[in-house]
Chain A
Amino acid sequence: MTSVPYKIEMQNVAKSFGPKNVLNGIDLQVPAGKSLVIIGGSGTGKSVTLKCILGLITPDSGTIKIDGEDTSFVSGDERDRIMRKFGMLFQGGALFDSLPVWQNVAFGLIHGKQIDKKQAKNIAIEKLDAVGLGAQVADLFPAELSGGMQKRVSLARAIATSPEIIFFDEPTTGLDPIMADVINDLIVKCVKDLGATALSITHDMASARKIADYIAMIHQGKIIWFGSVSELDHSNNPYVDQFIHGRATGPITEKAEYTTRRA
């Protein structure tokens, strides 16, 4: 164990799907109470990294530690216990469309923490208020809400159980720039209020700069750069430079994925 308390530690995590190596030995440490953003292009392994930590995907090799406890191959009740530390905001919201908004937000409280329904509804309305939604949306169904409102509800659900760790999967994708900024502000506020550790993946640099304490860049299934936000603009890493400036030419595009698409 190192002196700095790491909330999440990944060591040499690898995962392949058939012949395709998605993760080629990820090494990543997320310090407790900090917000780490993983940036990288599409198909570089960002989502798979998150899903490995959550146990939704089992890695082929390597270790994943949460609070110093090896969770790489944990399942069943043990997994449920570990999952109680987590909240997650899914890319598409992933709200349960058969349940009204308040039951979505209170889901983890009612089923995970066995809090009684009335009390859970009050907490849900509190959390909806925290993300800027009034009590009147509580009884609507997710399908009746706009994309931005669904994201807010989803955020409220992610923070409802006051988790120690929150994951954000492309939190601003599909939103207009103003709504994206609103969501970014909410994320910063919620994470700070809870004192939680946050791990986000995004390719939206404006969002990354806003919500991150540290940034890690992933490329071809490996972490190729890690540093604080202030170091981002003078990283001297050609991959990072190309990505944050969104240039079409550079070391990233010389590689397979982009070139084959153009050919």
Chain B
Amino acid sequence: MSQSPAPSKNIFDPVLNICAVIGASVLNMLASIGTLTAFAGRSITHAFSLPFFVSNLGRQMMNIGYYSLPVVGMTALFTGMVLALQSYTGFTRFNAESAIAAVVVLSITRELAPVLTGLMVAGRVGAAIAAEIGTMRVTEQIDALTTLSVNPYKYLIVPRVIAGTLCLPLLVLVADIIGVFGGYLVSIHVLDFSPSNYLYQTWDVLTTNDVVSGLTKAAVFGFLVTLMGCYHGFNSARGAQGVGAATTNSVVSSSILILIFNYILTQVFFS
């Protein structure tokens, strides 16, 4: 680009340039949303037609569900514990210590268990999916599937997305229990609450809707995380750099989508 000010230059040029940049990025974004939607649509239609790779689904459920248990359990335990501790320091000012059990169980089941589990799984599983499928793309393994008459959507993507959608609610159910248990531990052993009172207050405030809304969120997050991992991996650019970018994009985009959909689903359930 030359820096010399051309005399014939239109004074609106800088403005037009800015408009062009904004326009280009908006068009880019719309194009990405379009390809992502097409990708999701294709994945879903392939999920409802044969053949179905059952053993792949089993392996993915092991990977996404079972092997995520430790990290999800730790997250839930410490979140429940810190929640009890923080609400105690706040609530003692208003003599409202009895509300701690309610705060712990409602925040865990409605918000924290699904969102934190979703984010942890996005980091653990979404990244791994994007890296694995991206490497398969780069080394022509996906093309090889096609030449062996196996549809890559059915073989690679459908099992992962279904496993994610099924496993996340189960993980969140475990996280709910461990999270409440963490709050219980701190309340009983650090804050000297009565165990029976705490459990009674927990049970008293909890409704089916709290748990069901959390599990529904979890299913949506599981779908999003695995879909984004597959999408970015499947469309990975050539080379190590391409796979690296696919991994990063998968984690960032699924984390953001989790937060956006968390708000939307909360609005749907509780308004």
Size class of the contact patch on chain A:
20 to 34
| A56 interface residue per 8 A CB criterion | yes
B43–chain A nearest beta-carbon distance, Å: 14
Name which of B81-89, B140-148, B175-183, B216-224 contacts chain A.
Answer: B140-148
> Which residues of B143-176 have CB atoms within 8 Å of chain A's CB atoms?
143-144, 146-151, 155
Contacts of B151 in A (CB 8 A): 80
Query: Of the candidates B136, B139, B140, B148, which one forms a contact with A112 in the assembled complex, judged by CB atoms under 8 Å apart?
Result: B148
Shortest CB-to-CB span from A168 to chain B, Å, is 12
With contacts A94-B139, A111-B51 taken as known, whether A88 is within 8 angstroms of B144 at the C-beta atoms is: yes
Nearest-Cβ distance from residue B244 to partner chain A, whole angstroms: 18
Interface residues on B, range: 10 to 19
| B60 smallest CB distance to A (angstroms) | 12
Asked if A108 contacts B148 (CB within 8 A), the reply is yes
Q: Is there an interface contact between B147 and A88, defined as CB atoms closer than 8 Å?
A: yes
Contact across chains for A107 and B150 when beta carbons are under 8 A apart: yes
The answer on a CB contact under 8 Å between B148 and A54 is: no
- Among A55, A84, A96, A161, the residue within 8 A (CB) of B144 is A96
Contact B150 A92 (CB under 8 A): no
CA distance A55 to B149 in the complex (A): 12
A residues near B147, Cβ cutoff 8 Å:
54, 83, 86-88, 167
A225 at interface, CB cutoff 8 A: no
Alpha-carbon separation in the docked complex, A94 to B139 (Å): 6
B residues at A contact (CB < 8 Å) = 51, 136, 139-141, 143-144, 146-151, 155
Other than the given A51-B143, A94-B140, 15 more pairs (CB < 8 A) read A54-B146, A83-B148, A88-B144, A88-B147, A90-B143, A90-B144, A94-B139, A94-B141, A94-B144, A96-B141, A97-B141, A111-B148, A111-B149, A112-B150, A167-B147
Top 8 closest pairs, chain A to chain B, by CB: A112-B149, A94-B144, A94-B140, A108-B148, A88-B147, A83-B149, A111-B150, A80-B149
Interface residues of chain A, those whose CB is within 8 Å of chain B, are 51, 54-56, 80-81, 83-84, 86-88, 90-92, 94-97, 107-108, 111-112, 157, 161, 167
A–B Cβ pairs within 8 angstroms, 21 of them: A51-B143, A54-B143, A54-B146, A54-B147, A80-B149, A83-B147, A83-B149, A84-B149, A86-B147, A87-B147, A88-B144, A91-B140, A92-B140, A94-B139, A94-B140, A94-B141, A94-B143, A97-B141, A108-B148, A111-B155, A112-B148
